[in-house]
Amino acid sequence: MTDKIILIPATHPPKAKKSLGQNFLQDANIARKIVACLQVGKDDQVLEIGPGPGMLTSFLREARPARLYMVERDAYWAEIRQRENPVCPGKSQVILADALTMPWFKFSDAWKIAGNLPYNIASPLIWDILSAARGLVRAVFMLQKEVGLRLVAHPGTGAYGALSVWVQSHARPKLEFTVPPRVFKPSPKVHSAVLSFIPAPSGQRPEHPAQLSRLLKICFQKRRKQLAVILRSEKGFSMELLEELKIKNTLRPEELSPGDFQRLAGRLFA
């Protein structure tokens, strides 16, 4: 990479597109803190999702990783970001693509991923990345605060749901800090939060993710009902199964731990 970061000026940059959920970060201090949370080293491969005008990108470049890739859906900003570093294209590359359609299962090498995620795609995107990107070493994402609180929620709380269980089954999420609306352009109507994610050890991850996903959809569609009532029509269910797993049949889905869901899914849909 070049020693100096070169930002290509845009004479008439387009306005943020509501259809893409664009709210561009304007605060350099916030961007610096996000990169610090990512803990970038000189040998790291880093992927940024949605670089846009490049506020976060500039500090990722300053960290001087071995490679920096960017996934950008907006063709205008993809071209601007690609023009920043023409000298060493092999170390910095822009992929014009929708992050939701990325083949995350192909990310088998060591990767660190960061991004200011559009609110409208943050949940499904995090769901896919944490479960599919086997080479993930660390991730740091900024997203809507309400969603962030769901990701770190504990069993028995109102924010705890299917997304909480799924994420915590694959990673260890941590709420790093919150961000006010005024640091974005345009300013959203809600606060944001920056979360870090460290993949869970392989022995603690779901052996059959599809079974866990199926169970979560069944249970949290009727989260106010007791477990025995929700599952009584499932073919593999029995009261004896719950007793064997030491799970009370009177519990509601929001009272089960991620480990409970993993064990139950593995037995119920075996």
Same domain, 87 and 217: no
Q: Is residue 23 part of a domain?
A: yes
Structure tokens at 27: 């605060």
Neighbours of 207 (CB within 10 A): 11
Q: What mean pLDDT comes out for the span 94-114?
A: 94
Distance CA 104, CA 68 (A): 16
Same domain, 169 and 214: no
Q: Is residue 98 part of a domain?
A: yes
> In the structure, what pLDDT confidence band is assigned to residue 17 with cuts at 50, 70 and 90?
low
Q: What mean pLDDT comes out for the span 156-168?
A: 96
Q: Which helix (H) or strand (E) holds 69?
A: strand 67-72
Neighbours of 226 (CB within 10 A): 16
Structure tokens at 128: 């896919």
Same domain, 172 and 45: yes
Distance CA 142, CA 130 (A): 15
How do residues 169-192 score in pLDDT, each as one tens digit? 999 999 999 999 999 988 889 999
> In the structure, what pLDDT confidence band is assigned to residue 107 with cuts at 50, 70 and 90?
very high
How do residues 32-63 score in pLDDT, each as one tens digit? 999 999 999 999 999 999 998 989 999 999 99
CB 37 within 8 A of CB 196: yes
Q: Is residue 5 part of a domain?
A: no
Is residue 94's pLDDT more than 70?
yes
> In the structure, what pLDDT confidence band is assigned to residue 81 with cuts at 50, 70 and 90?
confident
Count of the separate structural domains present in the chain: 2
Residue 153 is given by DSSP the state: P
CATH number (domain holding residue 230): 1.10.8.100
- Model pTM above 0.85: yes
How do residues 195-208 score in pLDDT, each as one tens digit? 999 999 988 899 88
Is residue 155's pLDDT more than 90?
yes
Same domain, 74 and 199: yes
Domain boundary among 150, 175, 204: 204
How do residues 205-230 score in pLDDT, each as one tens digit? 998 899 999 999 999 999 999 999 99
Domain boundary among 175, 204, 233: 204
Which residue is associated with the tokens 């995350």?
104
CB 264 within 8 A of CB 239: no
Domain boundary among 184, 204, 224: 204
Same domain, 183 and 223: no
CB 142 within 8 A of CB 236: no
The C-alpha torsion from 58 through 62 and 64 to 70, rounded to 10°, is -10
pLDDT of residue 23: 80
Letter for the amino acid at 24? F
Distance CA 74, CA 14 (A): 10
Q: Is residue 223 part of a domain?
A: yes
166-201 as b/e: b if 16+ CB within 10 A? bbbbbbebeebeebeeebbeeeeeeebbbbbbebbe
Q: Is residue 11 part of a domain?
A: no
- Rounded to the nearest integer, the mean pLDDT of the chain is 90
Q: Is residue 237 part of a domain?
A: yes
Same domain, 173 and 67: yes
Same domain, 77 and 24: yes
3-state secondary structure (DSSP) of residue 127: helix
Is residue 13's pLDDT more than 80?
no
Same domain, 236 and 122: no
Distance CA 225, CA 229 (A): 7
Same domain, 179 and 66: yes
3-state secondary structure (DSSP) of residue 250: coil
Same domain, 170 and 233: no
Q: Is residue 13 part of a domain?
A: no
Same domain, 73 and 182: yes
CATH number (domain holding residue 32): 3.40.50.150
Same domain, 239 and 108: no
Is residue 7's pLDDT more than 70?
no
Q: What mean pLDDT comes out for the span 247-264?
A: 96
Residue span of the structural domain in which 230 resides: 209-268
pLDDT of residue 12: 64
